[in-house]
Each structure stands twice: as C-alpha cells, then as structure tokens.
Structure 1
C-alpha cells in the first residue's frame, strides 16, 4: 500500500490531498493494481513485466481520465498507442539519466569492490535498459515533470524540448508545517549535527566517517544524529565508523513522520553529503526545523540552498569547515537558523499543487484545441 513514510508514495499522497482541495478527482494506483503479481519479479524482469502491464492497463483505461501521471521509467511506447484526449505526464522522482552524468562512488570495502567487479557488467546493462526505456517514455510524453533544474538541463542536452519540461519542487504539508513551526529557531545549547536519509554510497556513506572525524576534532563536544537509515540498523551504520568515533553518533533508523520535528529540535546544523538527488527532501525537512544545511552541489539541494551552503561533491573538508564555522559563531548560527525556517516556507504542497494544476490545465487546453482543429487525432 502507498505509505507516507516512503519517498515516492509520500510525495504522491501529499500532492493528491492538495489537488483534491482544488477540485481534482484523483486515484492513486499501486504497482500491484496494474500487475497483481509484480512483486514476484526483480531487476530487469520487473522492468519488462511492469512496462508491459502498464501499457495494457492504459490502453484499456486511459480514456477515462483527463490526466495520467506516471513514472518516467515505465511507458516506452509510441504515444499513438494511447488515448489522445488524455494528458500523459511522465514524472521523474530521480532522473535515471543522471546516473551516467553523476556517477556514485563505490563502497570502500574490498568485499564491495569485488562484488562490483563481479556484478558490474549486469548492473550497467540494467542501467542502460532503464535509460533506454526512460528516454522513449519521456520523448513520447505530453508533459515532463522534474523536481530540479539540473534534470531539465540533462534532458534538453539529450534532445528533449525544453517547452514540454516543467520544474516543480516538493513541499511540506500544512499539518506537518505546524509541527515544524513549533521548533525554536534559537540555537540549542549543545552542538548537534543532523542528517536525514538512507545510509548508502549515493547518500554519502563513504564520506561520513571523515566528516565526523574532522568536525569532532575541531568541535570536541559535538554529536551527530543520523535519522531514517531504514535500509540499515543502528549497529550496521555504526560498523562503518572507527571505534573512536562511535560515541559521537546516535542512529535512529525508523520513526513516524510526525515524530521528525521533535527529533530535530535539539539539532544545530545539518549535513547532506548526497551525490545525487531528485530533490533532497531531507534538506527541506531540516530547513523547516530551523536547521541550516551544508550539502554537495549536485542535482536536488541547490533548489533550496544558496551557493554559500554548497560544496563540490566529495569535498569533505569544505563541508566540514562550513559546519564548524556555524558551530563556532553563535550569532552567525542564529541568523542561519532564522533564514532556514524562512527559506522552507517557499516549499508547501498547497503551492505546488496549484502549480501542478495550472500546468495540467494549460496542457489540456492546448491538447483540446489541437484536437478540435484535427478531429482525426481524438
């Protein structure tokens, strides 16, 4: 079932709530609604089975809807095979083409390096299959929705018309905003650095031990709170760190979304050493809790952060120095925390749903005008 605790599902659930308030009738479908047995497949087999099932489903039912909003990986078929009266919108939560442009570092352990050598060819083949299907899906869509400007640039460089690409960020719901607003902008007494996200190489797991080592050397009483690792238990995360750094870390793998503002209340600054994002929702959540965030300058975070809060990917020392600078200057930190709360206010689901609705209606009007002039296209 869709869950508010999981990335893409959370996004669609929150968006649908606000679209409904604007008068849209919305239906959210699980992959199992499209293909009941899909969970028995993985990898390339999942890809092939699901794209075929989605095609069959939309050929049968698309004409019943004004808009079909679907993942950019899963509809690599000619647009002419589907209802022309329906607006087809390819949505990218994380543009698959970026994995060619922004490669993810390998894990440093010998076991992982050996696994990469053994499985690297099959993984590359799978990536190329995804890119091939995504490219056709996007080319054939009526409208393309991406969450950052780097994704739009990537697609334009690959020959996609800029006119049919819209950049729409993500947001925070009204009810969650109230919880975040309760978090004080006054810096906590004890320096604590926050991170929200899974703990893997894409999110900067390789870099984290050096970040902790560098910051703790210059701020000896600092501690780190790592939230939402989900894919790894606390012990698994801590195993990535030398024993002399473990005491600086608190790991909370899982929590309810309503609990997050409280977990961030006593955090001073955030780090986000991710190598690639569609948007970087963890950054927005930290900003909403009055936490200024230092991130790598890769797709996603620049939608929310100014240049002074960004460093080149892999620049561990640069990221750490910016955190240290804030922790050592209470006046600077106080101003940064006020800015963070204010900056987050730009990103609300209410506004994003309004933008989404306007894009839908604009494209639908254009489509209907074209169809009226060319009745054979209906």
Structure 2
C-alpha cells in the first residue's frame, strides 16, 4: 500500500502538527506501507513568504493541483481538514481521501481563545475583532467543504467527533484515532523514576501563548507558591518567545521560581522532565495535547482544563473547568502536600501513557484505512461510472 501524508507546515519533530505525521509515517512504514511525507515547500517553494489567509489559500490551491496530477499514484491521501475545499470529483476516485484534524477549527466557535492580557493586545483585538471573526468563519467554511468531500475524517479525540456529528457529519464517516509515543522515545521516558523528586517542581510542556493559557500562568504560579514556598516551575517549549518575553508575564518577585527552556530537541525532553513532580496544562483548546502525554510518560500526573484533547488521557479528577485557575492550583497543591498520593499518581501516569503508543495507533490507522479503501473499491466495481 502507498500513502501520501500531506503536512500544511514544514515537517519538524518539535512541532505537534507535523510531529504526528513524521512519527506515524515511521510506524506505518514498519508495517510495510510505502509512505511519503509531503512538505508545503515541495509543492510551492515560495509559500514561506506568505502568512495567514494568503498562506491558506495559496497552499490549498497548490495542494489541489498536486493531487489532481498525483493522487492516482497512491492508495491513500491523508491531508489537513482545512486545506482541500474542492469537489471530490476533481480527484482520483480510486484513492481513499482522508481529512485529518490536528486541531478542529469548528471548536473556535465554542472555545474562544483569550487575548493577551495587555493594553496593546486589547486595542488590537478591538480594532481587528471583525476581521478575526471573519477569518475563523473562513476556516470553518473551508473545513466543512473539505470534510464533506472527504471519504473519511480522522480526528484525535471524542469531542471532535461529537462536534462534527452535531454539524451533520455521519458518525460512520469519522474515525477517532489518538496519538502516541514512538518505541525509541518510550525507552528514554522509561528511564525517568516514578519516585517523587525531593524538590517540588511543576512542569509545563507546550508553546507559551494565550491558547495554551499564558494569561493564566501568573496567577497559577502565585497560588501554588503561596501554599508551597519552595516550589519551582519549569516551562518547556516556548519556542516562539524569548525567555525575557515569557518571564515578562510574571511579577518580579516570582521570576526566580521560573525556569524557561524554549529550544530543545525532542529527544532531550525526558531528561528535562526527570526532576519534575506534577504537570499543569491550562490550554483552552487542543487537538490532542502532546505535552500532556509526554509528561505522563515521564511519570508526571497532569492537571488540565476540561476542553477537547486532554480528557482522552486524563481522568475527571485531574480536570477542571477552563479558566478555573484556583481549581487547577488546588489540585497541584493537594498532590504536592501528600507524598503518598503523589507517588500513586506518578505510577498511574506512567501506566496510563503506555496506552498511547505509535506502534498500536499505526496498526489501528492501517486497519481503518484498509477497511475503508476496500469498501470504496467494492463500491467502485459495482458502479463503474464512479471511477
């Protein structure tokens, strides 16, 4: 079988959206698939000079042109759910077309992202609120067209399926397939002890921006620090901001408690998490929440907002309503105050993470795609005019 995985961003193992495709491709090849990962620069070399809507439009057009010429060479085309808003009849009908959601754009209507908590951003949001709303509506419009015309939709959490069904997509057209950790990285995470570190250290893995809860961090740090004076915080992955910019969100008296690691190789992450006790994940919207899974794999129990993504991995007692800063802080404090409870939670975290392996997920993906492809080709044989 031949599969083409189309990444809308330049592939990198440090970026969640393309990391999924890289690691899934590696595991699918281990199952005997012939996989190609298509970068946007492969089909439109100048695309990096575009941003925003122009990037979306230019990439979608380039992808359409590429697939019209090349789709028939593959058994499966796997592409982002926003970037192919064209009639299915324009492409090879013998190929299975799969629209993949790494972050379902429809959720932006129900899970609005807070703006940065400063005067400049508030003024900018007031000025551009209409254009931003139009941009989101444009994403959703293109996503609905892409999804309606796809043969199958691949989502990574149950909330995505619920939202799509609510919008009229048949549930049998949707496959819920979560993400995982590769065997090689699992070995690195397995070296992390489940015993609680002596120094209480709270971890966060993810970009530091409003969607990930950057506005909420100062008060979370303040609440936990007041209850546990010797606590430290390690923020890992704020690659789009400097350490100075990230620390600027916090009051001067809290900055000495915060360590920022904004650039690192994915293989270094287990070591960076070795001496961390508990994780926080105050994200307002996720496709899955790789940072949650990686912390769990390092024996770190995570407290997160109850929004699409993290509930696929976390029990109700580790979730709080979005924006519930005190609720999140109280749960972290409770774990840090009770070493026996923390140890049990750390053992659970490691065990829970093992349910999410790329090896198993690639097998599920393979079986799902093969089943849908066989059904499609059976229908084509019965209706030759559809070929």
Q: TM-score, normalised by structure 2?
A: 0.97
For the pair 1:105 / 2:142, whether they are aligned, the reply is no
**3-state SS, counterpart of residue 211 of structure 2:** coil
Q: Which residue of 1 aligns with 2:188?
A: 179
For the pair 1:222 / 2:231, whether they are aligned, the reply is yes
For the pair 1:369 / 2:375, whether they are aligned, the reply is no
Poorly superposed stretches of 4+, deviation over 3 Å: none
- Offset, 1:53: 1.3
1:311 & 1:352 partners in 2: Cα distance?
28
**RMSD of aligned residue pairs (Cα, Å):** 0.8
- Offset, 1:310: 0.2
For the pair 1:5 / 2:51, whether they are aligned, the reply is no
- Offset, 1:231: 1.0
Q: Which residue of 2 aligns with 1:285?
A: 294
- Counterpart mapping for 1:290-369 below 5 A: 290-369=299-378
- Offset, 1:288: 0.2
For the pair 1:233 / 2:245, whether they are aligned, the reply is no
- Offset, 1:121: 1.8
For the pair 1:17 / 2:11, whether they are aligned, the reply is no
Deviations 1:195-248 (A, max 9, x none): 011111100001000000000000111000000000111111000001111111
Give the alignment partner of residue 257 of structure 2, picking from 230, 248, 251. Answer: 248
Q: Which residue of 2 aligns with 1:95?
A: 104
Q: Which residue of 2 aligns with 1:118?
A: 127
- Offset, 1:36: 2.0
Q: Which residue of 1 aligns with 2:5?
A: none
For the pair 1:276 / 2:278, whether they are aligned, the reply is no
Q: TM-score, normalised by structure 1?
A: 0.99
**3-state SS, counterpart of residue 202 of structure 1:** helix
Deviations 1:241-293 (A, max 9, x none): 01111111111111111111111000000000000000000000000000000
Q: Which residue of 1 aligns with 2:217?
A: 208
2:246 & 2:254 partners in 1: Cα distance?
12
2:144 & 2:237 partners in 1: Cα distance?
32
**Range 317-326 or range 29-38, more displaced:** 29-38
Give the alignment partner of residue 140 of structure 1, picking from 146, 149, 155. Answer: 149
1:236 & 1:371 partners in 2: Cα distance?
56
How many residues of Structure 1 are paired with residues of Structure 2 in the alignment? 378
**3-state SS, counterpart of residue 78 of structure 2:** strand
Deviations 1:6-39 (A, max 9, x none): 2222111100111011110001111111222222
Give the alignment partner of residue 136 of structure 2, picking from 127, 134, 154. Answer: 127
- Offset, 1:111: 0.9
2:364 & 2:183 partners in 1: Cα distance?
16
2:346 & 2:62 partners in 1: Cα distance?
48
**3-state SS, counterpart of residue 212 of structure 2:** coil
- Offset, 1:173: 0.5
Q: Which residue of 1 aligns with 2:74?
A: 65
2:97 & 2:336 partners in 1: Cα distance?
48
